[in-house]
Amino acid sequence: MIKVIEAKGDTIEAALQNALAQLGLDRDDTSYDYEVVKRPKSGFLGFGKEPAVVKVTLEASPAGKAKDFLEGLLIRFGTPAEITVTEDAAEKTIHMELSGPNMGAVIGRRGDTLDALQYLTSIVTNKDEEDRWRVTVDTENYRAKRETSLVQLAKKTAQKALKYRKSVALEPMNPHERRIIHSALQEVEGVTTYSTGNEPNRKVIVAPTDSQPADAGVQQQPKKKSEKSGSSNRRRRRRRPSGSKPAEGTTVEITEE
């Protein structure tokens, strides 16, 4: 992203300083170029005096693009925030920390709004960039708190899967959160994890290692119809007594509370 700005001043140096101040740059910064559009004229007895005009061209860094876009987006949403940017050029990462009075609205339900802001900012930041930059947006340490919550949920779900010898389906999660679940249970003996479904409803299944994934590439054969005509061949389902354990091999879906 390239910014171009013109500024005036009594002298060329004063005009340049005015332009740099508008861009938030120092005189010693090397990220800009400038040209003199008009030299100052002193005039005579106050008549014909004209200021100097300079044009400054700034090619914004990936971090600068990210901050400008996110700042403008938050203002349009009515939730302005202070943005602290940390850029690591070697690792190609940009971390943006938000602070303000209405961060709950910025986070959204289980981080949905925060994830959307991060996704949009990443798209804008990486436009026209040769290398891919990884952009993260966080506020009030939400990312770390959410990860801790997911790890606890994963361990609790694994215990349930082992206790009842059944597969347990978690609620739909984004790819990053699914990776946290998989990673948390990678070394847990007796359970395995896999993802099923399509985005945005893709979810993690936690299952005992001796169980067969319901849709892990195995196509179920259609049931054959009864050869006897006039017979529905249906069986009555017996109600499971209250408090009894689910049958082994079944999949139960749970959600966070």
User: Among 85, 81, 128, which Cα is nearest to 106's?
Assistant: 81
Give residue 252's identity as a one-letter amino acid code.
V
What's the chain's average pLDDT?
Answer: 83
Task: Map 14-39 to HEC letters.
Answer: HHHHHHHHHHCCCCCCCCEEEEEEEC
Q: At what angle do helices 175-184 and 142-164 cross, to 10 degrees?
A: 50
pLDDT at 245 over 70: no
Give residue 218's identity as a one-letter amino acid code.
V
pLDDT value, residue 1 = 59
Highest average pLDDT, of 7-16, 46-55, 174-183, 213-222, comes from 174-183
**Which strands form 52-59's sheet, in the order they lie side by side?**
2-9, 52-59, 32-38
Mean pLDDT of 176-204: 94
Considering all CA atoms of the chain, what is the largest pairwise distance in Å, rounded to the nearest integer? 115
Mean pLDDT of 209-219: 53
**Least confident window among 130-144, 188-202, 232-246:** 232-246
pLDDT value, residue 243 = 53
Which two three-digit tokens encode residue 121?
Answer: 């900012």
Residues whose CB falls within 8 Å of the CB of residue 163, separated by 6 or more in sequence, listed in order: none
pTM: 0.63
Please tell me the distance from the alpha carbon of residue 35 to that of residue 249, in angstroms, as a whole number.
74
Report the Cα 244 to chain-centroid distance in Å.
41
C-alpha to C-alpha distances, 147 to 78, 101, 138, nearest whole angstrom: 28, 24, 13
Residue 57 near residue 33, CB atoms below 8 Å: yes
pLDDT in tens, 83-141: 999 999 899 999 999 999 989 999 998 899 999 999 999 999 998 888 999 999 999 99
Residue 218 banded pLDDT, cuts 50, 70, 90: very low
pLDDT in tens, 50-91: 899 999 888 778 898 899 899 999 999 999 999 999 999 899
Please tell me the distance from the alpha carbon of residue 150 to that of residue 15, in angstroms, as a whole number.
54
Please tell me the distance from the alpha carbon of residue 147 to that of residue 152, in angstroms, as a whole number.
9
Task: Map 161-202 to HEC letters.
Answer: HHHHCCEEECCCCCHHHHHHHHHHCCCCCCEEEEEECCCCCC
